[in-house]
Structure 1
Amino acid sequence: MNNLNGFLSVIDGYIGGSDWFVYLLLGTGLFFTLYLKFPQFRYLKHALRIVRGKFDREGDVGDTSHFQALTTALSGTVGTGNIAGVALAIHLGGPAALFWMLVTAMLGMTTKFVEVTLSHKYREKTDDGTMAGGPMYYMKNRLNLKWLAVIFAVATVFSSFGTGSLPQVNSISNSMFTTFGINKVLTGAVLALLLGFVIIGGIKRIAKVTSRLVPLMAFIYLTGALAVILYNYENIVPSFIAIFRDVLTGTAAVGGFLGAGFSFAFNRGVNRGLFSNEAGQGSAPIAHAAARAHEPVSEGLVALLEPFIDTIIICMLTGLVILSSGVWTEKIDNRFQNADMQILASQYDDGQQEDREDLHDFLLGRKDLPLFSGDLEVIGGVIQDEVTVLHARSVAEHVTVLSGEMLYSGTVTVQNGTPVNQGPVAFQGKSLIHSAPLTTFAFTKSWLGNRGSYIVAIGLLLFAFSTAISWSYYGDRAVTFLFGSKAVFYYRVVYVLGFFLASFTDTTIIWTFSGITIALMTIPNLIGILLLRKEMKSEVKSFWQEYAVRFPGEKVPVD
């Protein structure tokens, strides 16, 4: 597992984790924001009216309403990115990462408007009578770049696992185990059966389920989040200050948090922002292609709302919960994940300034520290060698080694700082935590106490499960494009099986794979919409001309 995670991390470093990918993503959003004259602000009220059916026309072709398309796409984006992804971004980059998530969302509103409009224009009706669309169709039908369309479709199939299936159930099973002690395998098995039942019904059943789940899950989660923020009201202003103060400098070490540089906060904030709202990834256009609409821009305006709801509202609330509660710098008792561990060959004290600086530079890749290799001697659960155990980018305290639930005595083989072939042996102690467990712990810091964790568990269950449902549809549309409708059944079987297996797989590996698949989808889509920039501007102009004719008394944006 460690070798696999290391291999995937190297790949991620060249694409999703690289600076050039971040610049391509933000640069595309910034370009269209300026090119189309800030549509995310000027068109917002019109987008709300279209969702309510104002621009609908009798005989519009499609399988779902505007609202159902919006909730289906939202259910695909509002998921672990809003709960686990925000926590991971803050854990890696400090409060400043939240700022870059918000910037990504603001620019992403325009990007999503563009990609949905172009994809909706070139959608097709499949052999089974349903609508199929997405970036692969404008790549094939308009750009005449079928090879690019194939690359995107293949990436979509992989990303349906990397974004929609694996991290979602992994976060659910971890949360259910932490909160209720429910076995991860049992959680995976039950949810896999439910998932199979829903996705067999296709887009119409998916749309009905998600249109009910999304409002319910949003209400439950937002109520719990506000309870934490108001309970810690004295930390609200300091939290906002931290978000904006550290934007250009990075975050200094505080508590168990060893600090983060600017580039790491910037990269992780943008990367997790993309995972949260998927603007530019090309996934939402697949859901919106099913909407009943005669004018592509109208559906693009509906999609413009998604990053606003998903990231600017929900992710911001999650971030304030974590920051105001103070748990992001607090070491918590937990059982360590192997892929998150490093064992140093010397002892370091994070209470000493010099040691903190050395550890900070080590975690940022600026300095090498000696890694332990050899056999660790353990007696009664206590490590006898003079080493430092790092877990979740923090110095672990009160570390004990267990075999099952019993204190372990013997040796543990370590290679380059990582335990190998340790069988049932596990490490536990106090360290920072991240992803869903961090958000879960933050929700206990309110009047609800430990019962607040139930909100995260239930919210995550609904959020993540609905995301898995929506992404199964994205994947089956990609499979339809590649192999035809008959191949969809086999894809769904593999999708459900992968969903089950990920419920008890190492979290760190899941998230690393996720970052790779996101980038593989996003890159060809961004290239495609940039090539069609002039057509996009023409579509917007013709839409507002039609809108003005249909509603002569209403003021429309002037380009």
Structure 2
Amino acid sequence: MNNFLSTVENVNNAVNGFVWGLPMLILLVGTGILMTCLTRFFQISHIRHWISNTIGGIFKDSHVTAHTKKNDTQISQFQSLCTALAATIGTGNIAGVAAAIVSGGPGAIFWMWIVAFFGMMTNFSENVLGIYYRRRNERNEWCGGAMYYLSDGLGSKPGCRYIGSILAVLFSIFCIFASFGIGNMGQINSIAVNMNTAFGVPSIVTGILLMILAALVIVGGLKRIASVTEKLVPFMAIIYMICAIIVCLVHIDQFGAVFTSIIKSAFGMRAVGGGIVGSGVAMAVQWGMKRGVFSNEAGLGSSVMVHSSSNVREPVVQGMWGIFEVFADTIIVCTITAFAVLSSGLVDLETGTVISDQVSTALVAEAFSTVFGKFGYAFIAIAILLFAFSTTLGWSQYGSKAFEYLFGRKNIKFYHIIFVVFIVFGATMDLTLAWDLSDTFNGMMAIPNLIGVISLSGTVMKITRNYVQRNILHQNIKPMLSAIDDIQELHERELRKKLENDEVETA
């Protein structure tokens, strides 16, 4: 067994070095920069609009949170967000942030922010394309994602038919493997390690219990997953945020030094005796970007598979939920986690050296323990349990959609069985190898997706401009809602009916 794991680790290291090399990072950030420019900095220029229509809409528009009927296979906009956040707000926000600080220094947090800022528009573009190219399957469920805009979008361009189809198949294969890495074994392993450390629960027991719980939810399909996550995600996020903010407030006198350390470390300005010490700019950039993508998943093309099942009709509306998803995950949750760790005296803010012997989630737990004592360790263990388990539920849906694309709807149960069984393997794996595998599958999945987003960037720009002209500038022009004529006509009629109903209610 040890020889097998050693072989897997060696192969993974070779592949990881390729997919997370300089070209990949340029492609990742470059795509976000491109989409930001083409949409005229939509995340800033229309910030009031997207906030009002996402988190603001929860409080003023019943359509955002209203559940669909029992026989309706769609889910609400809020459910799609919660399911997507369930998959993104996970160990990346706790263990991932700690790993970034340990390996890349405080400066890694700055590069996480940069990735998130441009990643907002990458996620936006994925969602816009996902809604625009989605279709119905034989059970009348929406099917959307990178595989569809690669095959139908890129594939419709002259001379690109086979390229689009090949990339769609590759994306689906990588997505299935990623669902076992980032979405299953990496998450479950973090739960098992923390439950064993905090409460002495054997890893195999944790694995079996989580396997049973996951099976009960996953077998119910997307609507049951969405029903669970819309309750679990807001609860766990709010509780975690409150406790993390308390830690930050107790150490608020350190905030100036923390922010200074992040900026200096990001640009290699931590000099001692004339020489740069610590991990340096390259490590800060690399780890900040890797952990940033692991956390918010912008560029992977993963969450769009859930967003495409929303009952929304406007591609840009679901795109705005993509912006909020990255904002909430990285700019808010990851930042607060980072400040809690850096302000707790566990890191030398002058050199960026981690003083504590703890790593990964244990480092965050130690930061919480400076305020809450032993409860801090127990709280992080429970937070990891909820965060990581919800991530597993979300990723089971991503893998299901990729599996459906390759093998058809009727064979999904086979994927579900394998996915659930791998939960036990994840609980007993080495944590380092689990993280490394997740990194590799992340990168491999992102490559075909980003090629699709870049090749269809003009389409995203046209759809966004069309939306802005109609909904912000109030121009009377034909909407761009779907690449499929029948769905386009149907959505147009639905929008007209909604407009008429709104006018009646206003009158």
Per the normalisation by structure 2, the TM-score is: 0.84
Number of the residue aligned with 2:294? 275
Q: For residue 288 of structure 1, what is the aligned residue in structure 2?
A: 307
The equivalent residue for 2:76 is: 65
Tell me by how many angstroms 1:252 deviates.
6.6
Amino acid at match of 2:9: N
Please tell me whether residue 432 in structure 1 is matched to residue 357 in structure 2: yes
The answer to which structure has the higher helix fraction is 2
Q: CA deviation at 1:137?
A: 0.4
- Whole-angstrom CA distance in 1 between matches of 2:391 and 2:37: 31
**Of 11, 23, 48, the match for 1:7:** 11
Structure 1 contact 288–299 (Cα < 8 Å) conserved: yes
Query: CA RMSD, aligned part only?
Result: 2.5
Aligned amino acid, residue 14 of structure 2: V
2:185 is equivalent to residue 166 of structure 1: yes
Residue segments in structure 2 that go unaligned for 5+ positions in a row: 156-163, 477-507
Q: Do 2:265 and 2:284's aligned partners in 1 also have CA atoms closer than 8 Å?
A: no
Within 1, Cα distance between the matches of 2:86 and 2:306?
Answer: 10
Q: 2:23 aligns with which of 20, 23, 46?
A: 20
Do the aligned partners of 2:356 and 2:363 also contact (CA within 8 Å) in 1?
Answer: no
Q: Which residue of the partner structure matches residue 190 of structure 1?
A: 209
User: Within 5 A, what are the aligned runs for 1:193-204?
Assistant: 193-204=212-223
Which residue of the partner structure matches residue 352 of structure 1?
none
Q: Are 2:92 and 2:295, in contact at CA under 8 Å, matched by a contact in 1?
A: yes
Q: Does 1:207 pair with 2:210?
A: no
Q: How far has the Cα of 1:11 moved from its partner?
A: 1.5
Which structure has the bigger radius of gyration? 1
Q: Of 137, 153, 160, which residue of structure 1 is paired with 2:148? A: 137
Contact 1:184 1:503 (8 Å CA) reproduced: yes
Which residue matches 2:369?
A: 444
Equivalent position amino acid for 2:463 in 1: E
Structure 1 residues 480 and 435: alpha-carbon distance in aligned structure 2, compared to 1, 3 A threshold: same
Question: How many residues are aligned here?
Answer: 451
* AA matched with 1:284: S
- Native 8 Å contact 2:86 2:233 kept in 1: yes
Could you tell me how far apart the structure 1 residues matched to 2:138 and 2:258 are? 53
**Larger fraction in strand:** 1
Query: Where does residue 441 of structure 2 map in the other structure?
Result: 517
Equivalent-residue separation in structure 2 for 1:96 and 1:542 (angstroms): 39
Matching residue's letter, 1:110 = M
CA distance in structure 2 between the partners assigned to 1:329 and 1:181 by the alignment: 31
Contact 1:96/1:247, CA 8 A, preserved across alignment: yes
Is 1:224 the equivalent of 2:224?
no
Question: Paired residue for 1:100?
Answer: 111
C-alpha separation in 2, matches of 1:322 and 1:2:
33
**Could you tell me which of 351, 367, 382 is aligned with 1:458?**
382
Q: TM-score, normalised by structure 1?
A: 0.77
CA distance in structure 1 between the aligned counterparts of 2:144 and 2:347, rounded to whole angstroms? 41
In 2: Cα distance, 1:549 partner to 1:273 partner: 35
3-state SS of paired residue (1:259): coil
Would the aligned equivalents of 1:118 and 1:138 in 2 still touch at CA under 8 Å? yes
Indicate how the Cα distance of structure 1 residues 252 and 175 shifts in structure 2: closer, same or farther if over 3 A, else same: farther
Query: Matches of 2:263 and 2:192 in 1, distance apart?
Result: 34
Once the 2 structures are TM-superposed, how far is the Cα of residue 432 of structure 1 from its aligned partner? 2.9
Structure 1 unaligned regions, length at least 5: 331-355, 361-392, 395-429, 553-559
Q: 1:177 to 1:532 in 2, by over 3 A?
A: same
Tell me, yes or no, if structure 1 residue 40 matches structure 2 residue 43: yes
Structure 1 runs of 4+ aligned residues shifted over 4 Å read 53-62, 250-253, 548-552
Kept after mapping to 1: 8 A contact 2:124/2:323? yes
Mapping for residues 378-457 of structure 1, pairs under 5 Å: 432-446=357-371, 448-457=372-381
8 Å contact from structure 1 (residues 220, 455) kept in 2: no
Contact 1:79 1:464 in 2 (8 A): yes
